[in-house]
Amino acid sequence: MAVYQAGQCIAQASTGMARPDMSWQPDTLAINFSTGKGILATLVHVLVSQQLLEYDKPIAHYWPEFAANGKDQITLRQVMSHQADLFSIQSIDVDSETVLDWNTMLRHIAVMPITSPEDATKYDSAYSALVYGWVLGGVVEAVTNLSFAEVLRQYLTEPLGIADSCYFGVPDSKVDQVAKLAKDFEESEDISSQLKSRRQKPTLKVDSQETLRTYASLPSYRCWQQKTLSDKRAAETQSSLMTALMKI
């Protein structure tokens, strides 16, 4: 735990075990999940401030391969605000081993299709939980001609003084410094054999009725429903107008 006030650290404490043979320290590395999106988004904002990227330009402008399967007009802003209909990892043929191969995943993401609004409603949300990192990582590499790790270090973590504690892909030399979950302390299998035995396709689960009822009870639900309906009507109106113009 660390407590900051007015930009200054006024208290910090570490306790417990990070690994069976290592106590938790202030510089212990830990695995993060969705919080990584904030780091990646911040990196993109920095590149925009450096005039390397523009929010409202199609991603395909920087990364031509991304235009495949009707994605040629999807903008950076749409991806960052989860409005690009690119949330379904099930639309590409990958498994738990493939997702560890950065370059292979970029090729898959470049040609993935847009998920239809009808399919999106099955999940009640189009939040891009699983492919967001590769989409933004791909455009970052394309515009800088550097690896993602190099871009992260050069434009964000080094200027902030955290280059040795923030990674997307921990260097081999630091793997032994990464904390484990307590339930994994007793595991004795080699990590590669674990990965092989757990190889499976990523899945998205349809929201349960209980989850849907929870969403419906939120104060923002009615507003969200109205916006979704408004956006759908606007899209239908634009489509009808384009059809009429084509007939003329």
DSSP code for 205: P
Exposure string over 97-132, b if 16+ CB within 10 A, otherwise e: eebeebeebbebbbebebbeeeebeebeebebbbbb
Q: What is the pLDDT of residue 188?
A: 47
What's this model's pTM, rounded to 2 decimal places?
0.73
Q: What is the pLDDT of residue 229?
A: 66
Mean pLDDT value across the chain? 85
Say how far apart CA 71 and CA 62 lie, in whole Å. 13
Q: Which pLDDT tens digit goes with each residue over 80-130?
A: 998 898 888 888 888 888 888 999 999 999 999 998 766 655 555 568 888
Give the chain's residues under pLDDT 70.
117-126, 187-200, 202-204, 224-225, 227-248
First to last CA, the chain: 66
Three-state SS letters, 85-124: CCCCHHHCCCCCCHHHCHHHHHHHHHHCCCCCHHHHHHHC
With contact defined as beta carbons under 8 Å apart, do 55 and 76 qualify? yes
